[in-house]
């Protein structure tokens, strides 16, 4: 590389500091993978009430400084975006402050990146501010921006009356600007004002240009399609590796699969499932929201549990699903373990113990669950959408190719049929062992994806 590329990453969450979903995993790994490739990276996050954050500046990787934007009134709260009453009503003010402070910070410390790479609606005001409030400031003149959409379903919508809180003037509130059905839409602003847009898988980058997945933004995305790219997320195998994982009951590899079954037995014991060695243990770890496919699960879970299977669910989210699964737990005491909470340790144990990992999403921008499951030899059963389609290849029991089971149509008979297909293979010990080994051998580490980001960065700064 002729010149050391400088990139500022800006996001609202990153492992190990704060996490509500996959965005945090990406932000915890991608900066370091880019540093490995010789880039200079800095990361900016809000300073939340999180035990890991004790100072305003932390170093991760070799030399990535993480700067925290501090404002106790805005960020010292129990959760990141909202509580049981819904989203915090001052989210526009909170993330306007975050984005504006990010730009002021880099000016103050005199860090002039080639690219500012921002993630999701919470950081979308950075490219918006650069092209409005800060457009005449020479410090920012040459800086390019990339906006990564991790999930188009979360747009940062606010009543228009709140616009003054963002510091932007009313002339931005038009159809060509931030206006969206009479509301402010920050994600839309990010899509318009950033130089390049990326999403987290090639398939999702195409899907969001259609009416079905575009949430009303498909027209805008089609218009920007020449500057819209899909790069699949990786996972950090330093964290997700059954061979070195100290949090699971017993470490194992593709060559010591009998130890994977020790994990199954111990977890069954811990969560009080019957110790059925030959029943397929189906794991699900997810946010309980509509797009993860829980409406299909509700329709067929009884039938699945009648097929000599066990379910272990770790999930939290919408109350309607909590109620459903609380009832299910009462009905299937011995073969359903329902854990309605967020629990990173239990998640790790489930990846290690389960035989099958279920992700029947309606849409899935990338999905990390299926990638982690592969590494732990838990075979993904997924719907062919977004990143699930790009990473899971349907297993063909004749030629023994593939790493999971995939269905196309979003309906419960298709899901049930595919679970049955997976169970058929599961009950053929030799076939299953081969499949598990094969799945564990897939490499979805960050290296390849980080190289794609670097290519994109280079393309972007080559632009006049
Ligand atoms: P999304 O970002 O849409 O939530 P992903 O599959 O991209 O979905 O990432 C989800 C991440 O969060 C995975 O690392 C998964 O293991 C983790 N996760 C989801 N729900 C829980 C939970 N209840 N407890 C622990 N980890 C969870």
pLDDT band at 398 (very low <50, low <70, confident <90, very high): confident
Q: In this predicted structure, what is the pLDDT of residue 134?
A: 98
CA of 349 to the centre of ligand 1 (A): 14
Query: Does the beta carbon of 21 sit less than 6 angstroms from any atom of ligand 1?
Result: yes
Q: In this predicted structure, what is the pLDDT of residue 84?
A: 86
pLDDT band at 307 (very low <50, low <70, confident <90, very high): very high
pLDDT in tens, 134-167: 999 999 999 999 999 999 999 999 999 999 999 9
Q: What is the H or E stretch that residue 10 is in? A: strand 6-10
Minimum CA distance residue for ligand 1 atom 9: 22
Q: In this predicted structure, what is the pLDDT of residue 399?
A: 77
DSSP secondary structure letters along 304-354: HHTTTEEEEEEEEE-HHHHHHHHHHHHH-TTTEEEE-S--HHHHHHHHHH-
Task: Determine the Cα–Cα distance for residues 237 and 35; give it in Å rounded to an integer.
Answer: 16
Residue 80 has pLDDT above 90, yes or no: yes
Q: Which atom of ligand 1 is nearest to the CA of 150?
A: 2
- Scored b (16 or more CB within 10 A) or e, 176-189 reads ebbbbeebbbbbbb
Nearest CA to 377 among 241, 201, 203? 241
Q: What are the C-alpha distances in Å from 332 to residues 207, 248, 294?
A: 38, 25, 18
Q: Which two tokens stand for residue 54?
A: 């004790």
Q: In this predicted structure, what is the pLDDT of residue 204?
A: 98
Q: Which residues, listed in sequence order, are joined to residue 65 by a DSSP beta bridge?
A: 42, 59
Best residue among 14, 201, 368, 392 to mutate for probing ligand 1, ranked by most atoms within 8 Å of CB: 368
Quick one: the chain helix, strand, coil %, rounded to 5? 40, 20, 40
Minimum CA distance residue for ligand 1 atom 24: 342
Q: What is the mean pLDDT of residues 308-331?
A: 97
Query: Does the beta carbon of 25 sit less than 6 angstroms from any atom of ligand 1?
Result: yes
442: phi then psi, degrees, rounded to nearest 5: -65, 140
Share of the chain above pLDDT 90, in %: 94
Query: Does the beta carbon of 388 sit less than 6 angstroms from any atom of ligand 1?
Result: no
CA of 309 to the centre of ligand 1 (A): 23
CA of 15 to the centre of ligand 1 (A): 12
Q: Are strands 86-87 and 82-83 parallel, antiparallel or unpaired?
A: antiparallel
Q: What are the C-alpha distances in Å from 409 to residues 211, 384, 416?
A: 17, 8, 12
Query: Does the beta carbon of 22 sit less than 6 angstroms from any atom of ligand 1?
Result: yes
Radius of gyration of the CA atoms of the chain, in A: 23
Query: Does the beta carbon of 189 sit less than 6 angstroms from any atom of ligand 1?
Result: no
pLDDT in tens, 101-131: 999 999 999 999 999 999 999 999 999 999 9
pLDDT band at 1 (very low <50, low <70, confident <90, very high): very low
Rounded to two decimals, the pTM is: 0.93
pLDDT in tens, 234-250: 998 988 999 999 999 99
Q: Which atom of ligand 1 is nearest to the CA of 151?
A: 3
Q: In this predicted structure, what is the pLDDT of residue 426?
A: 97
Q: DSSP state, 269?
A: H
3-class secondary structure, 210: coil
Residue 14 has pLDDT above 90, yes or no: yes
Query: Does the beta carbon of 367 sit less than 6 angstroms from any atom of ligand 1?
Result: yes
Minimum CA distance residue for ligand 1 atom 15: 369
3-class secondary structure, 46: strand
Q: What is the mean pLDDT of residues 215-228?
A: 98
Q: In this predicted structure, what is the pLDDT of residue 416?
A: 98
Q: Which two tokens stand for residue 17?
A: 């500091």
Q: What is the H or E stretch that residue 358 is in? A: strand 356-359
Q: What is the mean pLDDT of residues 208-218?
A: 97
Q: What is the mean pLDDT of residues 72-89?
A: 95
Residue 464 has pLDDT above 50, yes or no: no
CA of 361 to the centre of ligand 1 (A): 13
For tokens 């990390």, name the residue.
368
**Residues 57 and 130: beta-carbon distance below 8 Å:** no
């Amino acid at each position: 590389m002729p010149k050391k590329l400088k990139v500022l990453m800006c996001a609202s969450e990153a492992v190990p500091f704060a996490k509500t979903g996959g965005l945090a995993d990406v932000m915890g790994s991608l900066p370091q993978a880019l540093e490995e490739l010789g880039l200079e990276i800095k990361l900016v996050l809000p300073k939340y009430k999180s035990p890991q954050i004790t100072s305003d500046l932390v170093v991760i990787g070799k030399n990535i400084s993480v700067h925290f934007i501090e404002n106790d009134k805005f960020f010292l709260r129990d959760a990141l975006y909202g509580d049981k009453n819904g989203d915090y009503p001052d989210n526009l003010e909170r993330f306007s402050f975050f984005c504006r402070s990010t730009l002021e910070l880099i000016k103050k410390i005199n860090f002039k990146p080639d690219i500012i790479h921002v993630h999701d609606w919470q950081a979308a005001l950075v490219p918006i501010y650069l092209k409005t409030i800060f457009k005449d400031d020479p410090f920012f003149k040459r800086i390019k921006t990339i906006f990564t959409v991790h999930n188009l379903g979360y747009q940062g919508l606010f009543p228009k009356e709140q616009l003054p809180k963002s510091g932007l003037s009313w002339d931005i509130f038009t159809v060509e600007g931030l206006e969206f059905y009479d509301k402010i839409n920050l994600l839309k602003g990010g899509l318009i004002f950033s130089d390049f847009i990326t999403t987290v898988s090639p398939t999702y980058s195409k899907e969001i240009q259609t009416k079905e997945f575009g949430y009303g933004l498909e027209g805008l995305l089609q218009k920007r399609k020449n500057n819209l790219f899909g790069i699949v997320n990786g996972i950090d195998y330093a964290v997700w590796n059954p061979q070195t994982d100290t949090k699971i009951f017993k470490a194992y590899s593709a060559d010591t699969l009998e130890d994977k079954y020790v994990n199954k037995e111990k977890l069954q014991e811990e969560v009080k499932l019957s110790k059925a060695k030959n029943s397929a243990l189906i794991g699900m770890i997810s946010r309980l929201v509509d797009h993860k496919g829980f409406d299909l699960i509700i329709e067929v879970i009884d039938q699945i549990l009648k097929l000599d299977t066990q379910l272990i669910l770790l999930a939290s989210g919408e109350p309607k699903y909590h109620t459903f699964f609380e009832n299910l737990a009462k009905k299937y005491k011995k073969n359903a373990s329902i854990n309605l909470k967020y629990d990173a340790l239990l998640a790790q144990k489930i990846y290690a113990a389960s035989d099958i990992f279920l992700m029947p999403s309606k849409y899935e921008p990338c999905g990390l669950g299926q990638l982690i499951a592969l590494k732990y030899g838990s075979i993904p059963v997924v719907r062919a959408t977004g990143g699930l389609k790009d990473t899971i290849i349907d297993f063909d029991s004749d030629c023994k190719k593939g790493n999971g089971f995939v269905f196309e149509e979003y309906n419960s008979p298709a899901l049930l049929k595919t679970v049955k297909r997976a169970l058929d293979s599961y009950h053929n010990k030799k076939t299953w062992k081969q499949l598990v080994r094969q799945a564990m051998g897939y490499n979805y580490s960050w290296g390849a994806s980080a190289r794609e980001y670097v290519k994109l960065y280079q393309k972007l700064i080559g632009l006049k």
